[in-house]
Amino acid sequence: MPIVTIKAVRGVHDILPADTARWQRLEAVSRQVFEAYGYKEIRPPIFERTELFARGIGEVTDIVQKEMYTFEDRSGESLTLRPEATASVLRAYVEHGLHVLAKPVRLYTVGPMFRYERPQAGRYRQFHQLNLEAIGENHPALDAEVIGVLMELFRRLGLADRLTLSLNSIGDPACRPAYREKLVAYLRQNAGRLCGECRERTERNPLRALDCKKPDCQEVLDTAPSILDALCKECGEHFARVRQYLEALSLPYVVTPRLVRGFDYYVRTTFELLTGELGAQNAVAGGGRYDGLVQLLDGPPDPGIGFAVGMERVVLLLPPDAQDAVPLALLIPLGDKALVRLLPVAQAMRHSGVTVEVGYGVRKLRNELDRANRLKVPYVVILGESELEKGEALIREMGSGTQRPVPLDRLEAELIALGGVGRGAEPPSEVR
């Protein structure tokens, strides 16, 4: 049997060290922004009972019908790797009685999601989302707040100017059924000019047909009846006030009557944040109101609204970080005795928050200097037998090649003085 190298599963990807700085920045900025608005982190598990998603997301959605990673565990229970976070967050909200907290209850979570989709650039089978939910309040000012959090995140990341906010209202159970009927009648009339998928959606989930990107369908969909003309009085007023508050916050948006989303649970406000820079995968975030969903999951009749940000897509938009952190110095012991003398120096430096590397004392000086060049360290410390005897080490500046002796008992202080602060980890209080 030939030996086959094991590779990652199709559609999942490694986040490599060259990219982790951008991921960490995205996570850190998100936490700062979310917490500034009073959102608290919740960490639900990544798998749940299948029924939670079937009921929460909707049996007829593409996600539930075609995209879930569902399996039976050893006791025969059907479990699913979460395809989205809202259902899990609301399950936890109900299960732990979080509805007794002051409302709206503001929660966020960060982590991987799993969908069996056709992989392509910007679309994966394991991907990561930032999720934010505000539960227990239906005032339109909360819709504007949640959209405001999203826009503030992208402003802080320096990306706001490259994104467009699409906004829509998709009505509620009072007005949507009549619109749905009108739309189905229109789509059936024009079935001959629609793709197979749209014809199928006409019968199964007609609002989703509005989302079709195929050029041939566009013509038909462009003149389809608009949901905004079909909103009931309450939904129309709610939407008008969301718009009014967004304007008060100077948050620009484009009303997009064909914006529908992939989940059944949305009502009224829906929104997406779009980029023109990532080809077909043009949505970096999406969200909406889900009044009724908490109740559907056996909780109190608490309304809610939230969004999900696709982290891979945001990372693709972020500029690479200017410079990777480089250690301050490579400590080069020549021989084991020197190693024993330098190990505690390296340890003390690290305690002080300064990153250094230390050799093993077995390689030639020339090889260690080669390594220092590849590490791009600005300094090396050389400790050979003759230096040990004199009780000193040599500090060499790699740029100029100049070196000078330093008494061994002053070595740590000298290295810290050479610019340890701010390099590597946080500066410790002793050297601030």
Binding of residue 308 to ligand AMP (CB under 6 A)? yes
- The strand pairing partners of 114, in sequence order, are 126
Identify which of residues 220 and 283 has a Cβ nearer to ligand AMP in the complex. 283
Distance CA 83, CA 47 (A): 9
CA distance to 54, 64, 111, 366, per residue, from 50 (Å): 6, 9, 19, 61
Q: Are 274 and 252 in contact (CB under 8 A)?
A: no
Identify which of residues 230 and 283 has a Cβ nearer to ligand AMP in the complex. 283
Instruction: Return the range that interacts with ligand AMP (CB under 6 A); candidates 123-131, 180-188, 244-252, 401-409.
Output: 123-131
Binding of residue 211 to ligand AMP (CB under 6 A)? no
Identify which of residues 124 and 239 has a Cβ nearer to ligand AMP in the complex. 124
Instruction: Return the range that interacts with ligand AMP (CB under 6 A); candidates 194-202, 220-228, 283-291, 340-348.
Output: 283-291
Identify which of residues 230 and 284 has a Cβ nearer to ligand AMP in the complex. 284
DSSP state of 396: E
Q: Are 206 and 180 in contact (CB under 8 A)?
A: yes
Instruction: Return the range that interacts with ligand AMP (CB under 6 A); candidates 98-106, 124-132, 154-162, 318-326.
Output: 124-132
Q: How far is the CB of 9 from ligand AMP (least distance, A)?
A: 14
Binding of residue 27 to ligand AMP (CB under 6 A)? no
Q: How far is the CB of 282 from ligand AMP (least distance, A)?
A: 9
Q: Which amino acid is at 416?
A: I
Binding of residue 110 to ligand AMP (CB under 6 A)? no
Binding of residue 289 to ligand AMP (CB under 6 A)? no
Q: How far is the CB of 36 from ligand AMP (least distance, A)?
A: 22
Identify which of residues 207 and 308 has a Cβ nearer to ligand AMP in the complex. 308
What is residue 338's three-state secondary structure?
A: helix
Residue 151 Cα to chain centre, angstroms:
14
- Binding-site member from 135, 194, 224, 283 for ligand AMP (CB under 6 A): 283
Contacts of 53 (CB under 8 A, 6+ apart): 63, 64, 68, 80, 82, 83, 84, 87
Binding of residue 84 to ligand AMP (CB under 6 A)? yes
CA distance to 105, 227, 281, per residue, from 241 (Å): 22, 17, 30
| Burial degree of 23 (CB within 10 A; 0-12, 13-18, 19+) | middle
Q: Are 330 and 359 in contact (CB under 8 A)?
A: yes
- Chain position carrying tokens 């009780």: 391
Binding of residue 313 to ligand AMP (CB under 6 A)? yes
Binding of residue 220 to ligand AMP (CB under 6 A)? no
- Interior CA angle at 129 toward 128 and 135, to 5°? 150
Binding of residue 19 to ligand AMP (CB under 6 A)? no
Identify which of residues 93 and 271 has a Cβ nearer to ligand AMP in the complex. 271
Binding of residue 58 to ligand AMP (CB under 6 A)? no
Distance CA 221, CA 210 (A): 6
- Binding-site member from 104, 171, 206, 286 for ligand AMP (CB under 6 A): 286
Distance CA 78, CA 63 (A): 16
Total site size for ligand AMP, rule CB under 6 A? 17
Binding of residue 312 to ligand AMP (CB under 6 A)? yes
Binding of residue 328 to ligand AMP (CB under 6 A)? no
Identify which of residues 273 and 415 has a Cβ nearer to ligand AMP in the complex. 273
Q: How far is the CB of 299 from ligand AMP (least distance, A)?
A: 21
- Interior CA angle at 242 toward 304 and 53, to 5°? 25
CA distance to 179, 186, 187, 219, 288, per residue, from 225 (Å): 8, 8, 10, 13, 21
Binding of residue 132 to ligand AMP (CB under 6 A)? no
Identify which of residues 312 and 412 has a Cβ nearer to ligand AMP in the complex. 312
Contact residues: ligand AMP, CB under 6 A:
84, 115, 117, 123-124, 127, 129, 261-262, 283-286, 308, 310, 312-313
